[in-house]
Chain A
Amino acid sequence: SYGVTQPLSVSVAQGQTATITCGGDNIGGLHVHWYQQKPGQAPVVVIYSDRFRPSGVPERFSGSNSGNTATLTITRAQLGDEADYYCQVWDTTTGVFGGGTKLTVL
């Protein structure tokens, strides 16, 4: 079965750029989606299909996907960006989530 790997945690200073990776075998050939989940809340999609941002998601959020790594980038990080972030792909008809990355904004 297909697996994707995320770092357990990422820290970033306020106003700086956070980068969260999602690694998988030739993940560049798949569509990668990213979700943000804050404590006590349901997940929210922040990037879909590698690089598209839903309406309402700040332009500070962007995504890329190539080779064996997909990346979620958050520029000008804010305290409100603190959350767990998950990447997600489909292995044919099986949904696969990364283990999640806890983003801490210092």
Chain B
Amino acid sequence: EVQLLESGGGSVQPGESLTLSCATSGFTFTSYALSWVRRAPGKGLEWVSSFNGGREGRTYYADSVKGRFTVSRDTSKNTLYLQMDALTADDTAVYYCAKHPQQLIGTSWFDPWGQGTQVTVSS
């Protein structure tokens, strides 16, 4: 069974940093793309970042986080990370990790999703 378990969320002040983790199991980690998606309070889902599977694993970012967030992976731990710097109140959201059904994001969908981890940015 595929499992995705996010952790690392919490409350931080504007300008601070936070790193989220997504521990995975039940599939060959490097064979599938993985993504981060968030949902801010009172708003809808927003794609944040993706990491293609494969040896090189290209990365992609939403304009709203480009230059501030960095996605990475540790293949020895089957874990995806999202390092978030220069956080603002607009980054307050539940952050979800999601798997793709193929190696490249291409035109694929998110399935399954983790349960999410809350990030709150407030002074």
Tell me if A23 counts as interface (CB < 8 A to partner B): no
| A96 to B46 alpha-carbon distance, docked (Å) | 7
| A49 to B47 alpha-carbon distance, docked (Å) | 18
Chain B interface residue number, banded: 20 to 34
Tell me if A80 counts as interface (CB < 8 A to partner B): no
* Chain A interface SS verdict (over half): strand
Tell me if B32 counts as interface (CB < 8 A to partner A): no
Instruction: Indicate if the CB atoms of A42 and B96 lie closer than 8 Å.
Output: yes
Tell me if B41 counts as interface (CB < 8 A to partner A): no
Q: Across the A-B interface, how many residue pairs have beta carbons closer than 8 Å?
A: 65
A43/B105 contact (C-beta < 8 A), A86-B44, A95-B62, A97-B45 known = no
| A88 to B113 alpha-carbon distance, docked (Å) | 15
Measured CB to CB, the closest approach of chain A to B99, in angstroms, equals 11
Measured CB to CB, the closest approach of chain B to A10, in angstroms, equals 15
A35/B60 contact (C-beta < 8 A), A94-B47, A97-B47, A99-B44 known = no
Which residues of A lie under 8 Å from residue B96 when comparing CB positions?
A: 42-43
Residues of chain A at interface, number, CB under 8 A: 26
Interface string of B102-117 (1 = CB under 8 A from A): 0001111111111110
A94/B62 contact (C-beta < 8 A), A42-B116, A86-B44, A100-B45 known = yes
Measured CB to CB, the closest approach of chain A to B95, in angstroms, equals 11
Measured CB to CB, the closest approach of chain A to B64, in angstroms, equals 11
Instruction: Indicate if the CB atoms of B44 and A48 lie closer than 8 Å.
Output: no
| A30 to B109 alpha-carbon distance, docked (Å) | 12
Instruction: Indicate if the CB atoms of B45 and A90 lie closer than 8 Å.
Output: no
Interface residues of B (CB under 8 A from A): 35, 37, 39, 44-47, 50, 60, 62-63, 96, 105-116
Interface residues of A (CB under 8 A from B): 1, 30-31, 33, 35, 37, 42-45, 48-49, 54, 84, 86, 88-90, 93-100
8 nearest A-B pairs in the assembled complex, by CB-CB distance? A95-B47, A100-B44, A33-B109, A31-B107, A42-B113, A48-B109, A97-B45, A45-B111
